[in-house]
Structure 1
């Protein structure tokens, strides 16, 4: 006689088989659609270049990010060194090689985006899964708990994201860690509400009712069935949130809440902040980091939108 674990594993297998009559799983079908999507290929290409620069940038940079070319830049006379053979992007206001700082800064920018997104994803998923489990299988008491949690999430969502990030950063103080935490806090309600909504949809599925009829424990239904089948939109949102995190990190750095000492560890947002005072005399100091931020955010956005379309059941043939 089979155990309850065997029953639910069999139920999961049957459910997966029913999702695609062609025999291909949801993720395999989505991967095929991504390969055929020009938008996904462009986004993935941009991200791949960004990742390579972030990994090898500090080793291939021609100069140290804090190395200064003294006696060549005169800020008081608005004399700056532009692009030349020794310095492809020219020198900044302190006589540092902009190209080298761009390469090294790619890693710091990637770190900000990834860590802040992981903070928002992990905490948001924890809250959203608990709230969704309460609403789906918690009975009347669970629904009350879910309602209270969602009202708190709605309050966070009602605040402008940048205002909430600035408030958190102002309380914690100026540092890179502060920027990561501030952006992560902003993303928590997004992931929480998204996962909770996906779990509510899955909670009314036939396989959940079948699991109930087999006598499977509610906790096991949530952890082994509802949760895994609710992660698709969360994964897509995580990709899109990376683009948002990079832009918001640049915004916080622009407001003076980023890394206070960017000599050895430059970051594109801080570079953009430092360039604002020299926009008239040396506009390219701002153009290079701004373009890097825009293009990188575009790559994550294109890939995220392509993933959303590939996983959308309404768009699958």
Structure 2
């Protein structure tokens, strides 16, 4: 928990960092660094390809991903599977369904789960962290008490391994795609809450806040119009990293059988779980979804890390 908390607090401090460079503001300089970063470029390209495929996948898929057209050609009991060929570029799965079509259509569900769960975690976490940060910085004694209660709950959630917390939530709610979104979103809540709170506390001591308070500006206006907007930078960076985590955790829940109860609907985690039984005879059935999960998560991670390094003066070359 300490390591995770320290990383979040470190990222929260970045928005208040200033440097005496002729290039202008910290954000403008960070944008220039991102444009020159090969890591950011690779991550952005992977992310763009993933999003485009998720959007157009159902239209470019050559076959219906649930149609068992070639069922007679696959003999599971005799370990006879169909690999890549002219009409099926990635071969067939154990039920005679086209693997390429299932990979393309499954991209949309993977993106949907990742985006919705991240938005859920962001919304609830930002609300909690915003209330806590505003209460501690501007709420006096009562605000400090509220902050203590909220942060102890957040620390308890951070103390649990993320996958264990997600599995616990999914097991309580039952098997469904909505369950996966909520479970993964719950895991993201303490991260966003802690990060936004730390960023707001860092901004609360800035000169413009002191000037506004000395002019008699109401605390609510200071928080909503000044502190909060200037505190969202590191939270947005974290959202990019959270998407990678959400995709992996959603695939893990689906792999464990806690995802969509309709196994015929293509999703990378479900495809990986189904292929496990036939790994010795047809290993490529597991390789395709595994590579999709790894490469997609890598793209979001590379872009998020590049954004973090562009903001952090200690990491600049």
Q: TM-score by structure 1 length?
A: 0.91
1:198 matched to which residue of 2? Answer: 199
**Any conservation in 1 of the 2:23–2:29 contact (CA below 8 Å)?**
no
SS in 2 for 1:82: coil
Give the equivalent residue in structure 1 for 2:176: 175
In the other structure, the counterpart of 2:49 is 49
Task: Quote the offset at 1:239 in angstroms.
Answer: 0.2
Counterpart residue number, 1:12: none
Pairing of 1:189-228 with structure 2 (within 5 A): 189-228=190-229
Aligned partners of 1:193, 1:174: CA distance in 2, in Å?
A: 29
Partner of 1:137: 138
1:170 Cα deviation from its structure 2 partner: 0.8
* Partner-residue secondary structure (3-state), 1:71: helix
2:34 maps to what in 1? 34
Output one character per residue of 1:33-56: Cα deviation in whole Å (capped at 9) or x when no partner. Answer: 111000000000101111111011
How far did 1:25 drift? 4.1
CA distance in 2, matches of 1:221, 1:90: 60
RMSD, aligned α-carbons: 1.6
Q: How does 1:1-317 map to 2 (within 5 A)?
A: 22=22, 24-68=24-68, 69-263=70-264, 265-315=265-315
Give the CA deviation at 1:212. Answer: 1.0
Task: Report the alpha carbon displacement of residue 313 of structure 1 after superposing the two structures with TM.
Answer: 4.3
Q: Deviations over 1:142-195 (max 9, x none)?
A: 011101110011111111111111111111111111000000001101100010
What is the alpha-carbon distance in structure 2 between the residues aligned to residue 77 and residue 260 of structure 1? 28
Work out whether residues 232 and 311 of structure 1, in 8 Å CA contact, stay in contact via their aligned partners in 2.
no
Q: Secondary structure at the match of 2:224?
A: helix
Instruction: Give the Å deviation of 1:284.
Output: 0.5
TM-score between the two structures when normalised by the length of structure 2: 0.91
Measured in 2, the distance between the counterparts of 1:77 and 1:21 equals 69
How far does residue 316 in structure 1 lie from its aligned partner after superposition? 6.2
Query: How many residues are paired up?
Result: 300
The structural deviation recorded for 1:302 is 0.1
Instruction: Assess if the C-alpha contact under 8 Å between 2:240 and 2:300 holds in 1.
Output: yes
Q: CA deviation at 1:32?
A: 1.3
Query: What residue ranges of structure 2 are gaps of 5+ in the alignment?
Result: 1-15
- Tell me how far 1:305 sits from its aligned partner: 0.4
